[in-house]
Chain A
Amino acid sequence: MANNQEFVTITEALLETTGSRLRELVAHLRQQRAQLREEWARKITEAKLLTAMTKEEIFAEATSVYDNYVEALETGTYEALQAYARNLSERIIPRGVETHEVVGIVLLLRDVLARSLWAKYREDFNKLNRILDAYEPAANRIAGTVAVGFVQERERIIREQQEAIRELSTPVLQVRERLLILPIIGVIDPQRTRQLTEQLLRGIRTNRAKVVVLDITGVPYIDSPVANHLVQTVEAARLLGANVIVTGLSPEIAQTLVNIGVDLGKMNTVGDLQGGIEEAERLLGYRVVLTQEQTTQHSE
């Protein structure tokens, strides 16, 4: 019991002194603000970091980072700094600022501040040691917070863009009543295949389509699992009462389909998109009539 109490008082004393050291530290950093900030901005330029930004911008950001940094040291809470780091990342990522630059500038600030501490306490080595004991863990944690904030923001942007690409990659277009076209461009990976199936079947339902032209002119090759999946999609579309016409099969894709032994009775294929649309119109009972004689020479 007595031991315990003793221990508690010691920890409290330790905390007390760490707190007071941090307070002393913060006071010092506030006092030297202008000079240290200047020094830091100079070092950033020297190290050729943040080259995408102008000197004025670097200085302005340096000021806010410095103040947030000191505040985080003082309060011991990192939420404000985290929010600021995220906000900063949002602004500078589109300008091409890299992760190593952000980590670099935060580490530079840490070093600049550490140097100033050495300069201030060089007479009293023990005190310097104690001050650094208080400073270092906090500084490292701040550096970590900022770096993680930046990377998280970057990943969020990447995820958003992936989502956008995915949505753009399989458009479903209605060209006539009951006739849809799905032009596919680029390599089809398993994930895209799943999405394609979903879009196609949903599209049939929402547009009440009877015929779908799946144009794969822009697809260089497919592997057998994807080819199988495509064939299954065509069959599933039939269960919904729609005909799928596949157009623009490259020789490689034709080879793959033959290799997996696709039943050609189930799959309607036409050479090119134009032929596919004509076939679809025939199936739907449309007849396109030319009302004007086409002239060989175009008039201005």
Chain B
Amino acid sequence: MQVPILKQGAYLIATVQSALTDEDLKQLRDTLVLSVSKVRARGVIVDVTALDVIDSFATRTLRDVAHMIRLRGAETVIVGIQPEVAFSMVKLGLTLEGIATSLDLEEGLAYLNRKGNGSDHGVRTHRS
């Protein structure tokens, strides 16, 4: 099962649509790392909303992807990890150390935009 990779502005978005085999994961890694400089992307979003299980190999591959993309000059965000998946990952000691994670695609894009501008978008509350 190939993972489609879409270009959206300065970002690449890879949306995982079903369970992936180890081969699929390796292919996803290679394609992403290759295309990130081909299209001169500033950020990469990997959407794993559809995954019910993220095992140690998947975690390691995602971590490798993030580090390799960093070395090639872009940021990576993993988005859409399900609550149950998140907790079982932590239980198994599979944490994505030093890699940005966001709730969903929208949040991931917002994160990359903030990173790109180098400033937080401020919200103010006033007491009347």
Contacts from A to B (Cβ < 8 Å): 176-177, 197-198, 201-202, 204-205, 208, 210, 232-233, 235-242, 284-292
Distance (Å) between the CB of B27 and the closest chain A CB? 24
Residues of B within 8 A of A237 (CB): 86
Residues of B within 8 A of A204 (CB): 83, 103
Distance (Å) between the CB of A209 and the closest chain B CB? 8
Residues of A within 8 A of B100 (CB): 241
Q: B103 is contacted by which of A205, A232, A236, A285 (Cβ under 8 Å)? A: A205
CA distance A151 to B47 in the complex (A): 52
Residues of A within 8 A of B127 (CB): 288-292
By the criterion CB–CB under 8 Å, are B83 and A202 in contact? yes
By the criterion CB–CB under 8 Å, are B89 and A236 in contact? yes
Q: B83 is contacted by which of A232, A240, A291, A292 (Cβ under 8 Å)? A: A240
Distance (Å) between the CB of A104 and the closest chain B CB? 50
Q: Does B126 contact A (CB under 8 A)?
A: yes
Given contacts A232-B90, A236-B87, A240-B81, contact A291 B128 (CB under 8 A): yes
By the criterion CB–CB under 8 Å, are A239 and B89 in contact? yes
Contact-residue size bin, chain B (C-beta under 8 Å from the other chain): 20 to 34
Residues of A within 8 A of B15 (CB): none
Q: Which of these binds chain A: B36-44, B68-76, B116-124? A: B116-124
CA distance A204 to B84 in the complex (A): 12
A-B contact list, 22 entries, CB within 8 Å: A176-B125, A198-B83, A201-B83, A204-B83, A204-B103, A208-B107, A210-B107, A233-B87, A233-B90, A236-B89, A236-B90, A239-B96, A240-B101, A241-B111, A242-B103, A284-B123, A285-B120, A288-B125, A288-B127, A289-B124, A291-B126, A291-B128
Given contacts A241-B79, A241-B100, 20 further A-B contacts (CB under 8 A): A176-B125, A201-B86, A205-B83, A208-B103, A208-B104, A208-B107, A232-B91, A236-B87, A239-B90, A239-B95, A240-B81, A240-B83, A240-B101, A241-B103, A241-B111, A242-B103, A289-B126, A290-B127, A291-B128, A292-B127
Distance (Å) between the CB of A151 and the closest chain B CB? 37
Residues of B within 8 A of A202 (CB): 83
Residues of B within 8 A of A176 (CB): 125
By the criterion CB–CB under 8 Å, are B125 and A239 in contact? no
What 4 pairs between A and B have smallest CB-CB spacing? A201-B83, A241-B102, A236-B86, A239-B86
Residues of A within 8 A of B78 (CB): 239
CA distance A284 to B103 in the complex (A): 15
Which residue in chain A gives the minimum CB-CB distance to B99?
A239
Given contacts A201-B87, A232-B90, contact A239 B101 (CB under 8 A): yes
By the criterion CB–CB under 8 Å, are A235 and B121 in contact? no
Distance (Å) between the CB of A237 and the closest chain B CB? 8
Residues of A within 8 A of B79 (CB): 241
B13-62 residues with Cβ-Cβ distance < 8 A to A are none
Distance (Å) between the CB of A180 and the closest chain B CB? 12
Distance (Å) between the CB of B120 and the closest chain A CB? 5
Residues of B within 8 A of A242 (CB): 103
CA distance A291 to B101 in the complex (A): 37
Which residue in chain B gives the minimum CB-CB distance to A201?
B83
CA distance A235 to B92 in the complex (A): 12
